Amino acid sequence: MLDASPDLAIIDLEMPRLGGYSTAVALRAVEQAFDRVPIPVLCFSAHSGDDAFRKALDTVGSATYLNKGGGGGLDELFNRLAQVLRTFRGQAALG
């Protein structure tokens, strides 16, 4: 059996049937059930994150958010990817 975990999960919050938040919660449940280290999660959405959404991300842990329409392009994507990976690995997050 291959015992490898992904380095990062990228989840769209607007997925059909099982939404992104539910997917992230399910991912954390599986990790706990099998005593696995949580992997970092980057959530995408076309909607800006409100306070309730940010609180939900805190519940999932090791997660950050990127608005699809933020206008930052690839630079913003790479900055957020670096941020979530550094935060997950215990390094200083990008400002």
Res. 9: pLDDT tops 80:
yes
CATH number at residue 54: 3.40.50.2300
What is the residue whose two structure tokens read 């997917």? 23
40 in a structural domain? yes
Query: Which range marks the domain in which residue 13 is found?
Result: 9-88
Report the candidate in 43, 38, 57, 39 with the shortest Cα–Cα distance to residue 11.
43
94 in a structural domain? no
Count structural domains, the chain: 1
The pLDDT score that the predictor gives to residue 55 is: 67
Whole-model pTM: value is: 0.66
2 in a structural domain? no
Taking only the tens place, the pLDDT of each residue in 16-66 is 888 887 888 888 899 899 998 888 888 777 766 666 567 667 777 767 776
Q: In which element (H, E) is residue 60 found? A: helix 51-60
